[in-house]
A and B are shown apart, each in its own frame.
Chain A
Amino acid sequence: MSKTLVIAEHADGKLSAAISKTVAAASQIGGEVHVAVFAVDGAAVAAQAAQIAGVTKVLTVNNAANNHALAATLAPQVVELAKGYSHVLFPGTTFGKDLAPRVAAKLDVQQISDIMHVHSATSFDRPIYAGNAICTVEAPASQLVIGTVRLASFQAAAGGNSAPVEAASVTASLPTHTRFVSLAAQKSERPELQSANRVVSGGRALASSENFKIIYDLADKLKAGVGASRAAVDSGYVPNDMQVGQTGKIIAPELYIAIGISGAIQHLAGIKDARTIVAINKDSEAPIFEVADFGIVGDLFTLVPELTGKV
């Protein structure tokens, strides 16, 4: 019988939306699903995790050292807590990608990155080559399975549960060689990219951060999140956390509007699961049109304001 431990990601007392999706993947494995909250005081986050359908227990590990989510500090605690579980799953966010391999190496198991489909307790699909191939991997049956979950592949588990919350004690000795200095986060009222129903993205063609205003205006009209291509981020038009693609965020909105984005394979890797893709580009040969459900060829500086006025 499987018993899966999901490692919670949280900040400022709020559980990340990624965890409902990670739990959804864990539930497909079957058996018990526990969520572990490592925090200074995890009560508030644990209460949120307890509501997720499919969770059978929430464990809190309180420690002043858990003030910031540092992989080096969390890994020894996860390793200790992992005893007695058949699976440990992390969200496929920068938090999970940073931490999971550190845990896997300590436990001497290969990790399965970006689980996109659960065939059985030991068989999973994951993307390789920017999602241009999907491989099915089989983990050794006798070993603990450690994986990160590709969030765009799973629907968030419902709420309404009330799983029991317990304090767990962990005695691992924690290193002090890694210290948090600061976090520069953009505060935004817009929907978060990875859970937004609609996303509007701009590319190199925007040519400046001022011009990005037309992207924000359309997004606000649609109550959409805002993304960008690597070229737009590299050029400094928008911050790094807006990059969509193979090495940025992988998203699965109902509607994705790519504006002045050519559609390089690395960008497409991030939007393969979008339900409907719209492309606005002046080059009718741009590869983005190969995958767009609706395309319109023309100058974005006239088309986008017109669209904003008409939706």
Chain B
Amino acid sequence: MMKVLVSVKRSVDYNVRIQVKPDGSGVVTEGVKHSMNPFDEIAMEEAVRLKEKGNVTEIIAVTVGGAKNEETLRSALAFGADRAVHVKEEGEIQPLNAAKALAAVFRKEGAQLFIAGKQAIDDDASQTGQMIASLLDLPQATFASKVEIDGNKAIVTREIDAGLETLEIDLPAVITADLRLNEPRYLKLPDIMKAKKKPVDVQSFASLDVTPGAGLKITKTAAPPKRSKGIVVKTVDELVAALKAKGLV
């Protein structure tokens, strides 16, 4: 019996051009397409592949967030999660508070493996997986591009600045998924239909005994300085002359 927990986050779709609100209070998310964070899709896909290989017996998808996150859980169930847990909390949830809730679910479920995306493409924090591992005193293998389960151990290849690092970690453990771990499948209609009937257990910080800590206060959100459009030259000679004039070559 090996249970794997996969965390999934609803975030603004990666194709959306982000607009900052003129009053500096945040970015426009109303009326904007949302999807499952792409790294969480990769995490889900990996869990499904481990189940197909016989390494895993049950996949539980978990999300921490408002009512709208249920659609993300349904996508996870369509991917192949057997059931889902929704830690229903409205408003902004900072990584440490999410990690505390996810760690509590992991403990409650008695799972052996946690797979998270390496970062969410909204706040780009890249913290939650490491924090879960820390709170549970478990091994972590972040930025994974290859995962092999070998009995009570996992052999994980990680994409790091220097190249590819391989670690051996004892289970239970936390792994975070990088881009090249796999290519997530397209969801098929029958699976989407089936997902509608799968069970979702609703929890909250209170039901999990999680006390959210003092957070960081976001005091302002601004658009980055805009790069101005430059010039298009016709020939390589012109380009070389322009670069020489700026002392760049």
Residue positions of A touching B, CB distance < 8 A? 11, 70-72, 75, 93-95, 97-106, 108-114, 123, 127-140, 143, 175, 177-186, 194, 198, 222, 230, 233-234, 239-241, 246-247, 249, 254-255, 265-266, 272, 276-278, 284, 289-297, 303, 306-307, 310-311
Known: A97-B126, A306-B236. A134 touches B167 (CB 8 A): no
Indicate which residue in A75, A114, A249, A311 contacts B249 across the interface (CB closer than 8 Å).
A311
Query: Can you list the 6 inter-chain pairs with the closest CB atoms, starting with the nearest?
Result: A101-B130, A293-B230, A105-B134, A185-B163, A105-B131, A101-B127
Are A123 and B219 in contact, CB atoms less than 8 angstroms apart? yes
Are A311 and B99 in contact, CB atoms less than 8 angstroms apart? no
Known: A104-B131, A133-B222. A230 touches B230 (CB 8 A): no
Number of residues of chain B lying within 8 A (CB) of chain A: 82
Are B96 and A129 in contact, CB atoms less than 8 angstroms apart? no
Which of B172-203 touch A at CB < 8 Å? 173, 178-180
Which residues does chain B contribute within 8 Å of A104, judged by CB atoms?
A: 96, 127, 131, 134
Indicate which residue in B119, B169, B216, B220 contacts A139 across the interface (CB closer than 8 Å).
B216
Which residues does chain B contribute within 8 Å of A175, judged by CB atoms?
A: 137, 139
A-B contact pairs, 12 of them (CB 8 A): A72-B139, A97-B143, A110-B96, A113-B127, A136-B219, A184-B166, A233-B180, A292-B230, A296-B236, A306-B236, A307-B240, A311-B249
Closest CB-CB distance, B42 to chain A, in whole Å? 11
Mask of B220-249 contacts with A, CB within 8 angstroms, 1/0: 111110010111111111011011001011
Are B213 and A284 in contact, CB atoms less than 8 angstroms apart? no
Are A110 and B94 in contact, CB atoms less than 8 angstroms apart? yes
Known: A136-B219, A255-B248. A178 touches B169 (CB 8 A): yes
Closest CB-CB distance, A290 to chain B, in whole Å? 6
Indicate which residue in A129, A136, A180, A284 contacts B18 across the interface (CB closer than 8 Å).
A129
Q: How far is the CA of A41 from the CA of B201 in the complex (A)?
A: 51
Known: A72-B133, A105-B135. A294 touches B230 (CB 8 A): yes
Closest CB-CB distance, B47 to chain A, in whole Å? 20
Are B224 and A266 in contact, CB atoms less than 8 angstroms apart? no
Mask of B103-134 contacts with A, CB within 8 angstroms, 1/0: 00000000000000011011111111111111
Which residues does chain A contribute within 8 Å of B82, judged by CB atoms?
A: none
Q: How far is the CA of A290 from the CA of B27 in the complex (A)?
A: 22
Q: How far is the CA of A262 from the CA of B159 in the complex (A)?
A: 24
Known: A295-B230, A310-B236. A127 touches B165 (CB 8 A): no
Q: How far is the CA of A181 from the CA of B157 in the complex (A)?
A: 9
Which residues does chain B contribute within 8 Å of A291, judged by CB atoms?
A: 227, 229
Indicate which residue in A98, A272, A311 contacts B140 across the interface (CB closer than 8 Å).
A98
Q: How far is the CA of A182 from the CA of B243 in the complex (A)?
A: 42
Are A131 and B224 in contact, CB atoms less than 8 angstroms apart? yes
Which residues does chain A contribute within 8 Å of B221, judged by CB atoms?
A: 128, 133-136
Known: A94-B161, A111-B125. A307 touches B224 (CB 8 A): no
Are B130 and A177 in contact, CB atoms less than 8 angstroms apart? no
Q: Any chain A CB within 8 A of the CB of B142?
A: yes
Closest CB-CB distance, B224 to chain A, in whole Å? 5
Are A284 and B232 in contact, CB atoms less than 8 angstroms apart? yes
Besides A140-B216, A289-B232, 8 more A-B contacts (Cβ < 8 Å) are A102-B133, A108-B213, A113-B124, A130-B121, A186-B163, A240-B180, A293-B231, A306-B236
